[in-house]
A and B are shown apart, each in its own frame.
Chain A
Amino acid sequence: MGSEDDVGNLIDVDSGDDDYDDGNSDIPMSSMNSDEEYDFITKDPADIDLLTSQRTQKDYTILKDEDIRRRQEDDIKKVASVLSVSRGAAIILLRRYNWRVSTVHEEWFADEEKVRNAVGLQENPPILQISPDEDVSCGICFESYSFPAGIRAAACGHPFCRTCWRGYICTAVNDGPGCLMLKCPDPSCNAAIGKDMIEDLVAPEYKEKYCRYLVRSYIEDSRNIKWCPAPECECAVEFVVGSGSSDVICSCSYGFCWKCSEEAHRPVDCDMVAEWILKNNAESENTNWILSYTKPCPKCKRPIEKNNGCMHMTCRTPCGFEFCWLCLGSWFEHGRRTGTCNDFRTEEERKFDESERREMARKSLVRYTHYYERWAANQSSREKARRDLHHMQAVQLVKLSEIQCQPETQLKFISDAWLQIVECRRVLKWTYAYGYYLPENEDTKRRFFEYLQGQAETGLERLHMCVEKELNTYLEAAEPSNDFNDFRAKLTCLTGVTRNYFDNLVRAIENDLADVDSVGACSETSSKIADGSSNQ
């Protein structure tokens, strides 16, 4: 399915007539220069997050497992020393007050007796005073054991044999985090069983499991620390509440929203995200077909599988028809209009010509489908881009470096392009949810929005295709390609241009499209920059 469009052709696409052709540039022309391009990247807050190594200012801290354990250990030591209690008791107290050291101190010094009773750390004399060498019956198995060799008791004195203690604790640990609040097995007894006793009695695997629950509770009880929601990631994020953006990028590179824990969704807000997800669930029966990965070629009707990230499809030979995955229109038709096929109404008119989609009579469903399909397509395209990025970094980079005789350090522009694509697919995805909720009667805003979104989308498709398809030429070359530097310049420029488009789009949406007047700013500039790149 690979196609080799030349740059000129692609860039011409953009200089065609469009509705807003009268603004001035707000993109520094210097961004055409590839050296300053990098400089620009480091200054942009979104990219600082994107390129984690360059992060300078943050509203949050990423905590690795060892960081969490160290902090927890510090808190335990603090409480144990200030209150003069055992480590086990300190843990029980901290757990009770959600690991807030200051609260533990306050409550304890306000009414120690009350706190002791509440958590089961009473200082009453043991219920059973056992003298050494006395035979004692275990309260679980009812066998007799000599004390202290076979019998153990918590502070309360209820005697149980070591085997029964072990069974009791292991059962609780297997049952889940409730083991952190373990009490004496005697049903009428409130005495807490602390970590010290547990460590003394059970096998290492159970100790470790208990400790993991302890670490988990440290995060889950805390108000300003959360686990990174990425499935494989064990990091937690501490957030400075009240700081500006709630987007958080974990060291595993997963970005999520601190407030709602969904994947990062700037520029749309949490409520819209929640509403959109709810809507998608409610419509899941209607939309399942949208997510299929094959569609018939609009020309020859043979099924085409989408396995690339960009939306530009090329049918197999002999057909070779080039079309847009989303609207199934000719890719070249596409290019002649501003933007892509993001504008709903144009597509709606077209769709109603197609008999195969006529059964979707309900207009609202057609409208929803338009936005959902684009949202979902960008989502899967983003996932694909992430995989491609990793493949590129793990495999292709070395190969390319060898073939083209370029030090790997000088190939960073390819990673930057992929990172930009991953981020842009994310933003673009959410702008389709935004578009869905944009009131239909807000005509000016809608035109402005669709214009910006179209610009951004065109730029992104161009960038995505360039790195996805053109890069192969250089990977498959037998010897260093003469035009590799041109490729570098082109890709670097496309990355910068695309980023600027998306910055405009994000800014406009975060302003709720208030600056309808500043329309057009981007259109002219973009063609200039694009032309610049094609001339290099």
Chain B
Amino acid sequence: MQASRARLFKEYKEVQREKSADPDIQLVCDDSNIFKWTALIKGPSETPFEGGVFQLAFSVPEQYPLQPPQVRFLTKIFHPNVHFKTGEICLDILKNAWSPAWTLQSVCRAIIALMAHPEPDSPLNCDSGNLLRSGDIRGYQSMARMYTRLAAMPKKG
């Protein structure tokens, strides 16, 4: 508990110090609980998520960083490896390939990379996975873009 708190505090200070280091990621610690974080990540360019801003919720276990944080999308996203309803993410580094050398910041980076390079063979969103596996790239992209516009872009007017 003390070790995880100390480590999170270091990450917090690092985030404060390097605020503009990665313009695609904005990590915010909960005001009252250092084990709860949210992040705003920008959809990577040249993907159907470009132009969208996606919110992630982090729940950090007491064994952190020996155990991975739990992360899910709060913003709706149409992606094979993200559960459409719950926002749960299927990503190896959040499970068996976790290393304690990862940080919340690097997890965000890995999620951005996953958005650009979906893994249709381990789908949490079958509709999305099937489109990709059947080679219907355009179908996948238009669906994903539609949901990006609906859910991840600031409403105008």
Contacts and interface: CB of A to CB of B under 8 A. Distances in A.
A141 interface: yes
Contacts of A187: 93, 97, 99, 101-102, 106
Given A185-B101, A187-B99, A171 B93 contact: no
A167 B10 contact: no
A74 interface: no
B153 to A, nearest CB: 32
A164 B3 CA distance: 9
A190 to B, nearest CB: 12
B44 to A, nearest CB: 20
A158 B10 CA distance: 19
B137 interface: no
A140 B7 contact: yes
A140 B63 contact: no
B99 A171 contact: no
B3 A167 contact: yes
Given A171-B63, A171-B66, A163 B3 contact: yes
Nearest to B6: A141
Chief secondary structure at chain B's binding surface: loop
B6 to A, nearest CB: 7
B59 to A, nearest CB: 18
Nearest to B97: A187
Nearest to A137: B10
Nearest to A170: B66
B67 interface: yes
B66 A142 contact: no
A319 B7 CA distance: 79
A150 to B, nearest CB: 15
B135 interface: no
Interface band, chain B: 10 to 19
Nearest to B63: A171
Nearest to B9: A142
Interface in A134-157: 139-143
Nearest to B100: A140
A216 to B, nearest CB: 19
Interface string A396-428: 000000000000000000000000000000000
Nearest to A142: B10
B99 A141 contact: no
B3 A185 contact: no
Interface in B50-67: 63, 65-67
Contacts of A186: 99, 101
Given A171-B66, A187-B93, A139 B101 contact: yes
Interface string A113-144: 00000000000000000000000000111110
B7 A141 contact: yes
Interface string A208-223: 0000000000000000
Interface string A154-185: 00001000011001100100000010000001
Contacts of A185: 99-101
Nearest to A172: B66
Interface string B90-113: 000100110111100010000000
Nearest to B99: A187
The 9 closest A-B pairs by CB, nearest first: A171-B66, A142-B10, A187-B99, A140-B100, A139-B101, A167-B66, A185-B101, A185-B99, A186-B101
Given A142-B14, A171-B63, A187-B93, 5 more contacts: A141-B7, A167-B3, A178-B96, A185-B101, A187-B101
30 contacts: A139-B101, A140-B7, A140-B65, A140-B100, A140-B101, A141-B3, A141-B6, A141-B10, A141-B65, A142-B11, A142-B14, A143-B6, A143-B10, A158-B101, A163-B3, A164-B100, A167-B3, A167-B66, A167-B100, A168-B66, A168-B100, A171-B63, A185-B100, A186-B99, A186-B101, A187-B93, A187-B97, A187-B101, A187-B102, A187-B106
